[in-house]
Amino acid sequence: MQTLRYRLLNVFALAGDALSGNPLCVFEDGRGLSDELMQRLARQFNLSETTFLLPSTQAKAQARVRIFTPSYEMPFAGHPTLGSAAVCRSLGLGTDELTLETAAGLIPVSARGSQWTLTARPARWREITVARERLAAGLGLSPQDLAERPLWVNAGKEQLIVPLKSAEAVRRASARADLFEDCRSEDGQGMAYVFALEGSDSAVARFFFPQGAAVLEDPATGSATANFGGWWQAMGRALPCQLQIAQGAQTGRPSRLQLDVDPAGRIGVGGEVIELGQGSVKLPLELASR
């Protein structure tokens, strides 16, 4: 039998609440595991993402991270990057300042205690092709609920960023599966991030994505928060930008994310990372080595 050790963490947690935030499983050593087995292990844990730590192929990075949803591998995601960085520090693979290699590129990550922050890739954006009426209906809203200019944004993983006029509209949103037949990212995935500003320094957000015939909601979405920063730049809004973002209340997993865009346009996404526990999976050698 081969023993595979893992850690369970919550990322973007609320201070003092260990069971808030977005859950994550990190396998400490993914060497020798096939793509198929990584995908099957992610499906076994059935969290929004499971990651596998590997030696980096880049001299500037302390580790390589592969990120899997239960259905497919992602080039980049926020809470898996922060949680994986925390595990790397715990394993002695890095310190409070480290760089992780992802399929989307090198991601610098830093920590102050249990508060971790990543620097996202430079953002790019493009216009949507779906009519506002169709987009609003697919989100269970009216066109009047949409604010200025939804965009596809990519600061590591392309997602649809949809500004709404009020927090009440964010809470009322209810995405339909048929929306994602028309709204697909450049890599063929359907997803939508809706948000509304609340004052000058806070926002409320939700993130919807399909799984089979169902539409699921993510408790906290770091990649979309980075894309929110890209949207902010695309709209020509004043920099620096500093926002506290509340997400996850409708899933029963309240989360808090910090978005920072500095005057040079560098996008930082941060939050609290809490390790809940450790464990192991035992697999027959013939399965682990496939």
What is the pTM for the complete model shown?
A: 0.95
What is the SS3 string spanning 73-139? Answer: EECCCHHHHHHHHHHHHHHCCCCCEEEEEECCEEEEEEEECCEEEEECCCCEEEECCCCHHHHHHHC
Q: What is the CATH code of the structural domain delimited by 124-271? A: 3.10.310.10
Per-residue pLDDT tens digits of the chain, which is 290 residues long:
899 999 999 999 998 899 999 999 999 999 999 999 999 999 999 999 999 999 999 999 999 999 999 999 999 999 999 999 999 999 999 999 999 999 999 999 999 999 999 999 999 999 999 999 999 999 999 999 999 999 999 999 999 999 999 999 999 999 999 999 989 999 999 999 999 999 889 999 999 998 888 899 999 999 999 999 999 999 999 999 999 999 999 999 999 999 999 999 999 999 999 999 999 999 988 776 65
- Give which of 162, 116, 113 is closest to 22, Cα–Cα: 116
Catalytic residue among 49, 158, 217, 272: 49
Residues of the chain with CATH 3.10.310.10: 2-119+273-288, 124-271
Q: What CATH number is given for 2-119+273-288 in this structure? A: 3.10.310.10
Question: Is residue 49 flagged as an active site residue?
Answer: yes
